[in-house]
Amino acid sequence: MGRRKIGFVSTRFAGTDGVSLESTKWADVLADHGYSSYWYAGILDRDPDTSMLVPEASFAHPDIAAINAEVFGRLSRTRQMTRKLFEISEHLKGTLYDFIEKFSIDILVVENALCMPMNLPLGIALTHLIVETGIPTIGHHHDFFWERDRFSVNAVPDILEKSFPPVLPSLQHATINTAAEQDLAMRKGVSSHLVPNVLDFENGPPPIDAYDQDLREQIGIAPDDILALQPTRVIPRKGIEKSIELIAELGEPRCKLVITHEAGDEGREYERMLRHVAKRAQVDLRFVNTRVSDERETSPDGQKLYSLWDVYRHADLVTFPSLYEGFGNALLEAFFCRKPVVVNRYAVFISDIEPKGFKVISMSGYVTPESLNQVRRVFDDEAFRNEMVDHNYELGRVYYSYRVLRRKLRTLVFQLTGEDIV
């Protein structure tokens, strides 16, 4: 049998969001077992020779943004809007057929486009395509619409019911946490495969090298400063004000709070609020997103750009005070890079990660004297710190390694095709 071909479909495969990162890991593991991967999306940074860029597949396309503005936050839609939804979906379905034909796709992997309604026509198009072709499909669901308040009032209940996600014979579902697995079963009456996010714990991260050894100097952090890393986007659900509160309460002037990502697509009001709060609390807050890229490269103005992994390697502490996460990649990355981490006990952490025995500095919505004492001990007690991070790394190897993903994908592919990946 020839090399099998997997077609990944989403609104975006670019940057360091969870969908883009996890889909790449799936492709890497599948490549080890003789599968070639191809990419379809509205925003792409993949090889043009193995991908298809369709602008209308992006949630940021003007037509899609206009649809979202009209159907969310209200209870009815116009006849013209219904026509527009299905006209664009027919166009997208045609491009999906072209994608399958061009690359001779054997299996589709739909990344979040059948669960998060950022692009309603794409979800409709995929549902109709799967019904019409019966193509074996994995729906990799990172978030569901019912988990987001902004989708609770809408004028598309019929579409959400039928396509987010659909229940079809040739569609297998993969969820990333226990709550999502249970919700999907309750709401749709279908089972799913729980496939957690993973990292390559078998090999681990590379050490600081000649390229990134000057990172602290380049972002204005002195050798004896304490680098507290907030490796997330600047959006309200990340709870970054709690990181500022933590640093303020520590009362350690050497401690600098470094944020690696930009504000993203939810506006800059939250960033302005954080700057104000940090200034009032006398916390040295650094936004370094202009010096951090998806990979090591040089900016158009000649500045050296570092990868997120470079920043992790220089961190003394990782702060992760999120209010909500579908999984929590930054937490996994901290374990992977052997960094101590402060975690706000969000729901998925409580249900899926905490019971496995990871050692973190936890808080439940607010900074406590106990959490502050633990942070100080992490800074001052090297043996305590090393025991914590080594313990977490070994648990990561057990629960969140590529070996785990390989086993999960073997089951998914076998149930879809009857073929074993070995």
Distance from C-alpha of 43 to C-alpha of 353, rounded to nearest angstrom: 32
- Asked if residues 409 and 30 have their Cβ atoms less than 8 Å apart, the reply is yes
Does the N-terminal peptide bond of residue 165 adopt cis geometry, omega within 30 degrees of 0? Answer: yes
pLDDT, average across residues 80-85 = 97
pLDDT, average across residues 231-257 = 95
Give the per-residue pLDDT at 265.
Answer: 57
Continuous H helices in 251-366? 269-281, 308-314, 329-336, 347-348
pLDDT, average across residues 382-389 = 97
Answer yes or no: is pLDDT of 382 > 60: yes
Residue 207, classed as helix, strand or coil, is coil
Question: Read out DSSP for 357-392?
Answer: T---EEESSS--HHHHHHHHHHHH-HHHHHHHHHHH
Q: For the domain 4-198+402-417, what is the CATH superfamily, name and number?
A: Glycogen Phosphorylase B; (3.40.50.2000)
Among 15-24, 68-77, 287-296, 362-371, the least confident range: 15-24
Q: Give the pLDDT band (50/70/90) at residue 263.
A: confident
- Asked if residues 228 and 216 have their Cβ atoms less than 8 Å apart, the reply is no
141's tokens: 């669901």
Give the per-residue pLDDT at 121.
Answer: 98
Q: How far apart are the first and last CA of the chain?
A: 14
Answer yes or no: is pLDDT of 171 > 80: yes
- Asked if residues 312 and 339 have their Cβ atoms less than 8 Å apart, the reply is yes
- Asked if residues 409 and 37 have their Cβ atoms less than 8 Å apart, the reply is no
Give the per-residue pLDDT at 418.
Answer: 80
Which tens digit of pLDDT belongs to each residue from 127-138? 999 999 999 999
Among 49-53, 290-294, 415-419, the least confident range: 415-419
Kindly report the average pLDDT of the chain as a whole number: 94
Answer yes or no: is pLDDT of 196 > 60: yes
Give the per-residue pLDDT at 2.
Answer: 56
Q: Give the pLDDT band (50/70/90) at residue 416.
A: confident
Give the per-residue pLDDT at 113.
Answer: 97
Residue 274, classed as helix, strand or coil, is helix
User: Which sequence spans correspond to the domains of the chain?
Assistant: 4-198+402-417, 215-399
Q: Do domains 4-198+402-417 and 215-399 have the same CATH topology?
A: yes
Answer yes or no: is pLDDT of 96 > 80: yes
Answer yes or no: is pLDDT of 228 > 60: yes
Distance from C-alpha of 6 to C-alpha of 327, rounded to nearest angstrom: 24
Of residues 282, 235, 232, the one with CA closest to residue 256: 282
Distance from C-alpha of 374 to C-alpha of 385, rounded to nearest angstrom: 10
Query: If you count them, how many residues does the chain have?
Result: 422
Give the per-residue pLDDT at 1.
Answer: 46
47's tokens: 């090889």
Q: Give the pLDDT band (50/70/90) at residue 268.
A: confident
Handedness of CA 402, 404, 409, 410 (dihedral sign): positive
Classify residue 320 as exposed, middle or buried by CB count within 10 Å of its CB (0-12, 13-18, 19+): buried
Reduced 3-state DSSP string for 132-173? HHCCCEEEEECCCHHHCHHHCCECCHHHHHHHCCCCCCCEEE
Distance from C-alpha of 8 to C-alpha of 398, rounded to nearest angstrom: 27
DSSP 71: H
CATH 3.30.565.10 given to domain 215-399: no
Handedness of CA 154, 159, 165, 167 (dihedral sign): positive
Give the per-residue pLDDT at 294.
Answer: 83
Cut 0.85: pTM above it: yes
Percent of the chain with pLDDT over 90: 86
Of residues 321, 322, 320, 323, the one with CA closest to residue 331: 320
Buried/exposed 339-369: b ≥16 CB within 10 Å, e otherwise: bbbbbbbbebbeebbeeeebbbbbbeeebee
Spatial neighbors of 394 by CB under 8 A, at least 6 apart, are none
Distance from C-alpha of 291 to C-alpha of 314, rounded to nearest angstrom: 14
- Asked if residues 14 and 8 have their Cβ atoms less than 8 Å apart, the reply is no
8's tokens: 């990944």
- Asked if residues 393 and 334 have their Cβ atoms less than 8 Å apart, the reply is no
Give the per-residue pLDDT at 267.
Answer: 66
Q: Give the pLDDT band (50/70/90) at residue 15.
A: confident
